[in-house]
Structures are given as structure tokens and as C-alpha cells.
Structure 1
């Protein structure tokens, strides 16, 4: 019988002991003596958040299909267990085997959100692994990072041996083969890192040298050894139907944040929202065939017992076979009372027929993201939505029986004016008026509109990567202006307004666009007690302020200044397939408020057709000749 790493006496002291016992439905158990490689897959946040992450489920399934690899999971211990583990010197352990993380060959850390960076140090610290990669020896696990934050890995470069740039289904087999050979050779850790640097998509920070100008900007970023690539190219899956997908996802004992079956219907996006990193770095759009999705849905529901299935993508309503897929899901879900969730819907392409199908199963609030309150600002960010689109889509929803609508906006966008800020409240008021203009017999009680604003954070590999970011007080002043404007509206009782933490957003901006010097700030903040920074009740601004002072760095150097397109950026060594020339062109079009058509309307020459042999996938899907292939390089 498997022995738990924590004694009963400790488990009884914890808020949710189920986070730490493992053995969940569909978790994979193997004999450690029968495998060559043990891979610890880590999400650096609490169990409920990590168990909701699709990427880990995909990689967990992929690795465990390999007969000589055992992939296990580990998450950040909540502060109650963290305290006990430090006091009693209990090493951090893997859920499946309940053995120490340090027994693994690899520690793979998913980098989903910058505000989890101090949790990475918690994981290393509790595991007994040196925090700095330069201090590790041959017996330590290889610490590798993957996920969206790797598109600027420099702020955490000192803590990682490797980064995997791109989609995980591609070059891991080659990397693991390399590791097997190295492990048998008896050679040193540095030898493996040098060999790994030759694997496409693998970035080894220790093999690059960085220098700075007197003004603090980057002067150079160059390889420090032979056969180390100047550019690290993103890895991408093009055979999207052929890759493995977890038909038996692990089902937690406690309710996770996303307590449902999650089915990825497509990857990438045809839209060109200028603030959206995912929309740029996950290009081009790749769809799963509807027949494949039907089989997956049936198997995943049968293997989990969930009461909801979510169709996930960056823009679900752009999936070409959505109607056929929904018809099938209604047929199998309705008799069993299973809800169908459609996140990431665009209000302009959301049809009444789709809504009426879904509401037959279970009705809940609808969520849309206009992102900006005025047409001028939506053109600046290239949202591709008109006010007519928004009002028409909301009107269809209201007549379809919905009376709860959530709207997401951003404050602090480049070129924003007071009129744009007030426009958020005014758009909500317009939708409320439209609702009450509908005859009573055609609507469902009172309308409830929730408007939520996040604060704009410029991200690498977007046209806004050069933009300045507001300071904390500027963000708060803008949020208060929206709040005051809502209070002056006739339908204020039907409108609820919330906004994010401004201080956290500024720190996110530093971590998103920082350079390698920020590693020292993160380390010092962790030593000052910073942990679970993504959680409002645990975020400690003082720990971070002291860390910046200790390291002699100004956070506003990384956020408040607009960057020149001539400046060398910390992430310029990565090739995402989307050309810098395209991003610069989009930055200029944003300043002029010029809209760029989406990929199905016109190829904009972003450069990503290099992954398709110069063929524009969207034109191929639409049955059109590729008349734009000559501009594929951007």
C-alpha cells in the first residue's frame, strides 16, 4: 500500500488535505523501477488552480503514454502546509508516488502567469533544489519551464536550466532521448545543457551573455558558446488532429476552479487584437476535425462523470464546424443534464440559434469582451467590433432569455482619453436601455450587467510591446472615473462595476517585460516573504518595494516609458514566426486607429505561413487561392 508523505496528524491540521494525497480518478501509477525517466510536472499555484490547467493535463497524458517515462504532479503547498513543511523539514513531494520531488529527473514548471514567480522559488526551496541554476549539481533535477511566460523568460532566467519555447507536443521526445544518453554517459550537467541547446525550441539561459547600456537598456544578447543558436525558434504542432489528447483527464477529489471536462476545439486565433499575446504567439489557427471532437467528448464524459463540458479556444465562435459540434453535444448531453459551456465567444458572431440550443440544457450568464468603451478605442486595439455588433449580439441574448451579462474591458490602453474611459459606463447603460426596450413578455425579469476592468499590461510579441504603461495612481483614477460615471446613469442599479488591483498590475508589467536583472528582485522579494502574489489576501506590496530598493532597480523603468522600435528587447532572441516588421506595422496602425482585417478576410503577412510551407491556412480552409503567399514574411 502506498504510504502518504504526510501523517494523519498533519493532514487533519490542513484546510483541504485532499490537495496532497493524490490517487485521484484517472491518475497514473507506475513502478519507479520500470521507467528510465521520472518527470515532475508542476503548476506553481494551489492545487485547485493547477488542476484546472489544460496544458498540464495534455502533457501528463502524453508523457505517461511513453512506457519508460512516469509523469507525476506537484503543486504549490498552501501557506498552512508550507509552514508545517518548513518547521518539520518535510521535503516537497509528488502526488502519485508521494516521494520527494528531488527524486525526479526533470522538474517541469508551467509558466502561466507572471504573478506566480515567487511560487517557483517556493517549489524549488521546499524540494531542496538550489534556487539558482548555477548552484545545481548532476544529481539535481533538470528544471525546465514552459508556457506563455516563456515568451520572455529573462526575469526568471537565473532559476531555470532550460526553457521550452512553443507547444509541448513537439520536441520533448527528442529532449528525453538526449537525456537518456547523457544519464548513461556519466558526464557533467553542463554537457547535457550544451547538447540540449541544439534541440529546436530549447533555450538554455546560462549559455547566453547579456550586457547593458548606461541608460539601463540592453546593449547585447549573444550566445556564449559555439553551436548555440542566436535565435530560438518556437515549436508548433501543425497536425492538430494527430496529437494525443487526454481522454481520461485526472478528476480531483475537491472542486477545481474549472470543474468540468475541457475540450480544446482549436488552437490559435484569426483575430489580430493588438494587446493579446496569445493571439499572436499561438498563430496560425489550427482546428480539430469535428468527428475527432465528437469521439473525444463522448469518451471524456464517460471517463470522468463531470456535469459540464467546456469548448475551449481563444475564440470559440470562429470554429468553422461549431453548429455541427453543438448539435451533437446537445443530443448526448441534454438527456444526462450535462451543461455545455462556450467561453471566449465574440458578441458579433454569436447567433441566436446557437444560444437557443445551449440554453435548452442549462442557462447561465453570458460573458463578452468588448475591451473598450468607444469605437475609436476598439479600432486602436483592433478588436474588430462595432457598437452595432455589440448591441445586436446582446439583443439576441436578451431575447433568447438571458438577463445576466458580464462585460470585460481594459483601462490604460495606449492613446486612451477621458471620453474612452467614460464610454465603458455609457456602453453598459446603452445595453441596459436596449434590454428594457424589449417588451416585458419577451425578456426575463430585470437585467444585470457586470462590467469588469483589468488594467492594460503590454506583453512581448504584441504590437503594444513598445507601449508605456500607466502608473498605479493613474489606473486607480481611471477606475474611479468609470465608477462615478456608472453612478450617474439612469440604470445604475442594473450595472455592477469591479476592477482589478492596480499595484499587482504594475508588478505584472515589470515581470512581463523585464530583463535578467529582475531575477534578483524576485529572489529578494521571496526572501522578504512574497508568496502567492496572485492572491489578493497574500500579496505583499512592501516585500516587492523593498526588493526593488535592495537591487537598485526602478520598476517604472520597465513600465512607464514608451520603448523605441530600435531598442533591443530582452525577448528578441525568440522567433515566434510572427515577424517584428509586422508588429511594428501594427503599432503604427494602432496610433492612427486603423483596423487590420482578420485572417479570414485578408492575409496581413504576419509571417506565420512559414509553419505551413508558405501557404495561408485560412485561405486554404476557405477554399480560396493563396494570393498573399508572397508577403508571408511580413
Structure 2
């Protein structure tokens, strides 16, 4: 959703980023700097930014980090700049779909070969820990798509052991539940029910743990499906959901984002009370697929995206899923306009480098 509603791409300048980092360090007292954005490694001058910041803070206690990195945007030089001060944390990559079919459905064109080649480079240059992030519950997903997460993790461990000659290689698999969001091509999609989500995750966990050769080297983190259903209710609900939220609060709901305070039963009881007599229930908001003609609760809000363009993208995803199409949508920064509607309607335009500027060291005060 963030990648849709924040269009078009606009990069902060290298000087602006440097000033923000310095200001944050001086005024907060923190010494850890994370360069966070939707896809930080896509910045056209990320290499210059990394080197400039590493030069500036070399010899200090300031550590630099890059969050989850796209497989096809990663390179060892960049990673080395961020770990130059000696703090070498694990690397995080986000294939998102367990199978190549699922990655094509969500237009995440990362092949298994790309991932293996990238982690091989990381392991061979001294990294011992890699984290892979996936989603379960993507449209048209099957059990087999999810189980391929285990196959991918095993291949990552095998490649790490091969290139290093060591067995102290770790791979952590982190899995989040997919929740369709407004203003995206998947706003019409059905969300996976929590029973199927939990069953698939249990099957995946068992497959990993039963593997005598690689199981111990693979960490497994995930959330069960019930919180995702509540998130789906809040994500695509209409104004009637306001009564549910109020009822949960009146029943004692507080800090529900924390697992120790979350109560699925409290949310479902509140929903039954608040929706009584309306003819709809939680499933109507979450696990039901919508069609083009349905008036959606957020249709009166304009993010600049053309509805027909979003619907076309949704149809393309379904066509890729059933094998009737192999369409790939390239990044519009490097291709002709796809006519999503944002730039002309919002009077904006893509703003990217490279600028050719460098980050000079700070003058001594």
C-alpha cells in the first residue's frame, strides 16, 4: 500500500540525508542510524551515501544499518560500508513469496538463482546470519507455495556451508500474514482465513524441524492468523467497524498490538454485538472477494491512482497465477509511463538522481 499511495518516487538529496543523520545524532543521543524507506537500496546514490556516512563517522561509536534489502539491489561493497566500524549484524532480504509463481503474482521478480547468488556472496564475505522475510496468505496461494519456503531456506544454508566450509551458518525465516489493503490492486482480494493460515504455518514449521541436516540451522518466526483477521477488519472496514472498536474498548481492550494483551475472542464478541441486525459479519469484511462494481468504503478518498488501472493490475496478477499470462510490470522510473494516474492528477513527477554530489566530512567546530 505504501508503494502505491506515496507515488511517484522522490528521492531526498544526499546533502539532506546527511543533515538529517547529523541532526538526529546530535539531538537525540542515539548512536545507531538506520536508513529507512520503502526500499532504501533503490536510492540512485545509496553507494555514495553509505561511503560518505561511513567516512564521516569512522572511528566513532556511530553504527549504520540498512533495513531489509531487495535481493537484486544488494552488493557486497554497500554492505561493507555499513559494517565498516566493526559491527556486522545479519543481513535481511525479502523474497516475500515462497515460490517463484507467488513472486510473479505480486510482481516481485526475484528468482531462486538471484537469491542463492546473493546469499552466497554475503556468506563468502564473512556474514554468518541471513534473515529471509516471507508472506503467507497471498492471493491464489496453495500449501505447496508455502512449503517451498522450507526448500529455499535449506538451499540457502547449503550454499552458505559450501562457500565458507563452515557449519555455523544460520538462516532465520520470518513470516507475516498478508492483509489486502485499500488503494492497491489487491483491495478486491479475499484474505486467507486464520484456520488455513495456521495450518499452513504448522505444516511449514514441521517440515523445517523434521529435517535432520538443516533444521537446526533454520530459525522460524511467525504470527498466528487471528491477529491478521483483526487487522483485515480494520484495514478494509467501513464506518460500521467504528462501533466494533468502541465495544472492544468498553470490554477492556488495550494495547492489542502486544500479543499478551490481544484477545481474538473479545474482538469477535464485539463484532457480533456491533453488527447484529446488519446482515454482515467479520468474514464479509475479510475473507470475501470483491468485484469491480462494488462501492468500496474508501472510494471517496483519492490517492491519485486510477481505479481501472488498479483493476487491470489485479487481473494481470490473476492471469499470472493461473499461467495464462507472464506479464511483468517494470519500475516506471526506467520505463515509459504506465498511466497509473498519479503524476498528471497530483501535478507531481518522479524526482531521482544521480546528482553527482558527494558528502563532505563535517568541519571541526
The equivalent position to 2:178 in structure 1, one of 441, 452, 456, is 456
The equivalent position to 2:338 in structure 1, one of 585, 591, 604, is 604
Query: Which residue of 2 is the match for residue 406 of structure 1?
Result: 131
Q: Does 1:325 align with 2:56?
A: no
How far does residue 302 in structure 1 lie from its aligned partner after superposition?
2.5
Query: Which residue of 2 is the match for residue 97 of structure 1?
Result: none
**RMSD across aligned positions (CA):** 1.8
Q: Deviations over 1:462-484 (max 9, x none)?
A: 11110001111111111012112
- The question of whether the paired residues in 1 share the 8 Å contact of 2:132 and 2:173 is answered with yes
**In 2 relative to 1, CA 611–510 (structure 1 residues): closer, same or farther, beyond 3 Å?**
same
How far does residue 622 in structure 1 lie from its aligned partner after superposition?
7.8
How far does residue 368 in structure 1 lie from its aligned partner after superposition?
1.3
| Bigger proportion of residues as helix | 2
How far does residue 621 in structure 1 lie from its aligned partner after superposition?
5.1
How far does residue 612 in structure 1 lie from its aligned partner after superposition?
6.6
Structure 1: runs of 5 or more not aligned: 1-276, 624-634
Query: Which residue of 2 is the match for residue 340 of structure 1?
Result: 64
* Aligned equivalents of 1:612, 1:354: Cα separation in 2: 34
Q: Does 1:416 align with 2:150?
A: no
Q: Deviations over 1:171-199 (max 9, x none)?
A: xxxxxxxxxxxxxxxxxxxxxxxxxxxxx
TM-score in terms of structure 1 length: 0.52
* Aligned equivalents of 1:439, 1:494: Cα separation in 2: 15
* Aligned equivalents of 2:7, 2:348: Cα separation in 1: 14
The equivalent position to 2:190 in structure 1, one of 450, 464, 468, is 468
Q: Does 1:288 align with 2:21?
A: no
How far does residue 303 in structure 1 lie from its aligned partner after superposition?
2.6
Query: Which residue of 1 is the match for residue 359 of structure 2?
Result: none
* Aligned equivalents of 2:256, 2:268: Cα separation in 1: 13
- The question of whether the paired residues in 1 share the 8 Å contact of 2:92 and 2:131 is answered with yes
How far does residue 564 in structure 1 lie from its aligned partner after superposition?
0.4
Query: Which residue of 2 is the match for residue 540 of structure 1?
Result: 263
Query: Which residue of 1 is the match for residue 253 of structure 2?
Result: 530
Query: Which residue of 2 is the match for residue 437 of structure 1?
Result: 162
- The question of whether the paired residues in 1 share the 8 Å contact of 2:44 and 2:353 is answered with no
The equivalent position to 1:509 in structure 2, one of 232, 240, 262, is 232
- Where relative contact order (Cα < 8 A, 6+ residues apart) is larger, the structure is 2
What secondary structure sits across from 2:184 in the alignment?
A: coil
| Bigger proportion of residues as strand | 1
- The question of whether the paired residues in 2 share the 8 Å contact of 1:449 and 1:494 is answered with yes
- The question of whether the paired residues in 1 share the 8 Å contact of 2:304 and 2:346 is answered with no
- The question of whether the paired residues in 2 share the 8 Å contact of 1:403 and 1:446 is answered with yes
What secondary structure sits across from 2:187 in the alignment?
A: coil
The equivalent position to 2:203 in structure 1, one of 466, 481, 499, is 481
- The question of whether the paired residues in 1 share the 8 Å contact of 2:107 and 2:328 is answered with yes
* Aligned equivalents of 2:90, 2:248: Cα separation in 1: 39
How far does residue 300 in structure 1 lie from its aligned partner after superposition?
2.7
Query: Which residue of 1 is the match for residue 307 of structure 2?
Result: 580
**In 2 relative to 1, CA 394–548 (structure 1 residues): closer, same or farther, beyond 3 Å?**
same
What secondary structure sits across from 1:569 in the alignment?
A: coil
**In 2 relative to 1, CA 371–330 (structure 1 residues): closer, same or farther, beyond 3 Å?**
same
* Aligned equivalents of 1:582, 1:400: Cα separation in 2: 43
How far does residue 359 in structure 1 lie from its aligned partner after superposition?
1.9
**In 2 relative to 1, CA 581–336 (structure 1 residues): closer, same or farther, beyond 3 Å?**
same
Query: Which residue of 2 is the match for residue 549 of structure 1?
Result: 272
**In 2 relative to 1, CA 467–589 (structure 1 residues): closer, same or farther, beyond 3 Å?**
same
What secondary structure sits across from 1:497 in the alignment?
A: strand
- The question of whether the paired residues in 2 share the 8 Å contact of 1:532 and 1:539 is answered with yes
- The question of whether the paired residues in 1 share the 8 Å contact of 2:255 and 2:261 is answered with yes
- The question of whether the paired residues in 2 share the 8 Å contact of 1:380 and 1:595 is answered with no
Larger radius of gyration: 1
TM-score in terms of structure 2 length: 0.89
Query: Which residue of 2 is the match for residue 360 of structure 1?
Result: 84
- The question of whether the paired residues in 2 share the 8 Å contact of 1:355 and 1:400 is answered with no
Q: Does 1:302 align with 2:29?
A: no
- The question of whether the paired residues in 2 share the 8 Å contact of 1:314 and 1:344 is answered with no
How far does residue 354 in structure 1 lie from its aligned partner after superposition?
0.7
Alignment of 1:190-269 (within 5 A): none
Q: Deviations over 1:522-567 (max 9, x none)?
A: 1111111111111110012222122112122510011111000110
Query: Which residue of 2 is the match for residue 567 of structure 1?
Result: 294
Query: Which residue of 1 is the match for residue 169 of structure 2?
Result: 447
How far does residue 614 in structure 1 lie from its aligned partner after superposition?
7.0
